[in-house]
Amino acid sequence: MQSRLLILALPLLFLMASCSPFKQVNSSKSMVEGNRIQYQMVIEKDAKDYLEIIDVKLMNTETGASESATFKIVDTDGSTTLLNLKGYPKFFILATTTDAELNPDQAIVVYKDDPEGDEKSKKIKPLLAAMEEEASAE
């Protein structure tokens, strides 16, 4: 009986663990001042939900290289740095690296969805859409 309950509960546990309070809807890559490369991730979430971005790590799964990126969170017009994401259904994570050799294909975003809760992480892969990757390779 207990094993049947466990088997029935496993898919539910997996579903709960795979849910996150936000999703990536778009991304781009650009060169910025000082020979730095900036990855811009457009993120959507429910405006009423609490969300705190703690760290952004850029990774290249092919080479195994990774780097904790310098990052900031801004509103959709890019003019305001956001410290509190409550009330914002869409925002940008701007992650910057000076390592031109890194060429990341994914990002790991460490976040909290409860002020008193544990840190969680979400993998954003692919970091860039296929068209963006082709354009940056040229």
Residue 66 backbone dihedrals phi, psi, to 5 degrees? -155, 160
* CATH class as words, domain 21-137: mainly beta
DSSP class per residue in 21-61? SEEEEEEEEEEETTTEEEEEEEEEE-TTS--EEEEEEEE-T
Q: What is the mean pLDDT of the chain?
A: 83
pLDDT score, position 129:
66
pLDDT score, position 19:
66
| Percent of the chain predicted with pLDDT > 70 | 79
Burial (CB < 10 A; 0-12, 13-18, 19+), residue 119, is: exposed
pLDDT interval class at 123 (50, 70, 90): very high
What is the helix (H) or strand (E) element at residue 3, kind and residue range?
helix 2-18
pLDDT greater at residue 137 or residue 100: 100
Q: Does 46 score more than 50 pLDDT?
A: yes
Helix (H, G, I), strand (E, B) or coil at 5: helix
Domain-wise residue ranges, the chain? 21-137
Q: Does 135 score more than 60 pLDDT?
A: no
- Residue 27: CB atoms within 10 A of its CB come to 20
